[in-house]
Amino acid sequence: MTLNRRDFMLRSGASLAAGLTLPRVLVRTAAALGQSDPRERILVLLQLSGGNDGLNTVVPYRDDAYYRLRPTLAIKPDTALKLDDHVGLHPQLDGLRRLYDDGWLSVVQGVGYPNPNRSHFESMDIWHSADPTLEHRETGWLGRVLEREKAMQALHLADEPLPLALRAEGVDVPSVHTIDSFRLNADDGGAARRAIFTLLDRPDENCESHAGHAGTPPGGSGSEADFVRRTAAAACANARRLEALPPDASGSYPQFGLARRLHEIARLIAADFGPRIYYTSLGGFDTHARQNTVHPNLMAEIGQSVHAFYADLKARGVADRVLLVTFSEFGRRAAENASLGTDHGIAAPLFAAGPGVRGGVIGPSPNLSALVDGDVPHAIDFRAVYAAILERWLKVSARAVLGAGFRPVEIL
């Protein structure tokens, strides 16, 4: 079993001196003490691209100003899924509502940063690099985590290129569309595939032993050739392990793209594939016009997919190891515009889901009678959310990653 994680580590090539991987038995013992071992904890980050309309996601159904400012778009009070006396969820977020009722959802309101930036490109960079001044845009907060924790791995599962959040010096996160990218395809009827496995696969060996393997690499300097050899072995190991995954029957997921990706993540988690940070995204939130034809579908996609995800994880017995957090680069303006949509705003709520969260609604509910320049101002700095994730979930120094201290938000 430890072989899984170690093999997967190889692909970054960052260092062979493997991090401290505890023997499995110790890991289990810690788990038996009733708390999921930090080394087993997994973070799933769900990026909502385009600027999710927070006011229609976590709805201030009691606020008259809300209905005045959004005559067409406002969610009617009787359809909102009430969480408390101030806010309720969008009617399509029933899946999240059920998680909330089980205590598996924290709703953090008013998350943003000072000197708001309304450019998609720049605001997303701010969230990714955790630097509102935009002076240090070369690395992302998760990238920096991976840089410090050499043993920790991540996987990016989406159609877009690798986000800044996962980038750092010497850090290499694989970015795939589906886990099928880890499969070895050889459609020629077998001979090539067999030969390639014969050549590359090292099923029983420990990685270090490759350095002195028999046979002289033709003219190559030992280190480059060996590096490639080791990585190829890891690639084959992944392919082999993926094929060994039992055909997946558990979990009935809805027919959404996000659901498919979360399903794959659930499979990988259950199979101990290696990564502890999974990053995926959902786009289409930039609803400048006719928001009601688009936003409800996105809410449905999130609500149903995340609920199915946790139902699946629970069935596989790994739910308590997984924390899922959503975020978006900004919210949207309080008033609807002339095209029945909304324009770029600033602060917005985000969700943290999983058995490990405290549950409940945190942060001040939006007060639309006290807008600042047409927007709900931010109340919680997003880096406080990151601090909570880093300190309390991943057990990594938040100060080192964020560059400054932030009091963690009480979600965990």
Interface with other proteins (CB under 8 A): 8, 10-13, 121, 138, 161-162, 167, 172, 174-176, 181-188, 191-196, 198-200, 213-221, 224-225, 227-229, 231-232, 234-235, 237-239, 255, 284, 286-290, 293-294, 297, 339-341
H or E segment to which residue 298 belongs? helix 295-315
Contact predicate 359/104, CB 8 Å? yes
Query: Is 191 or 404 the residue whose CB approaches other proteins more closely?
Result: 191
What ranges in 15-93 are assigned the alpha helix state H?
24-32, 54-57, 64-69
Query: Is 24 or 290 the residue whose CB approaches other proteins more closely?
Result: 290
Q: How far apart are CA 388 and CA 111, in angstroms?
A: 13
Amino acid at 274: G
Query: Is 241 or 378 the residue whose CB approaches other proteins more closely?
Result: 241
Q: How far apart are CA 363 and CA 305, in angstroms?
A: 25
Instruction: Please report, for residues 184, 194, 198, 347, the alpha-carbon distance to residue 190 in angstroms, rounded to integers and kept in the order given.
Output: 11, 6, 12, 55
Query: Is 67 or 227 the residue whose CB approaches other proteins more closely?
Result: 227
* Angle subtended at Cα 300 by Cα 299 and Cα 303, rounded to the nearest 5 degrees: 80
Question: Closest approach of Cβ 195 to other proteins, in Å?
Answer: 4
Instruction: Please report, for residues 133, 396, 403, 406, 407, the alpha-carbon distance to residue 144 in angstroms, rounded to integers and kept in the order given.
Output: 18, 11, 10, 17, 19
Q: How far apart are CA 357 and CA 361, in angstroms?
A: 11
Query: Is 69 or 242 the residue whose CB approaches other proteins more closely?
Result: 242
Q: How far apart are CA 175 and CA 162, in angstroms?
A: 6
Question: Closest approach of Cβ 104 to other proteins, in Å?
Answer: 28
Query: Is 126 or 239 the residue whose CB approaches other proteins more closely?
Result: 239
Query: Is 38 or 254 the residue whose CB approaches other proteins more closely?
Result: 254
Question: Closest approach of Cβ 253 to other proteins, in Å?
Answer: 15
Question: Closest approach of Cβ 174 to other proteins, in Å?
Answer: 4
Q: How far apart are CA 198 and CA 185, in angstroms?
A: 15
Instruction: Please report, for residues 9, 91, 99, 206, the alpha-carbon distance to residue 81 in angstroms, rounded to integers and kept in the order given.
Output: 43, 6, 12, 53
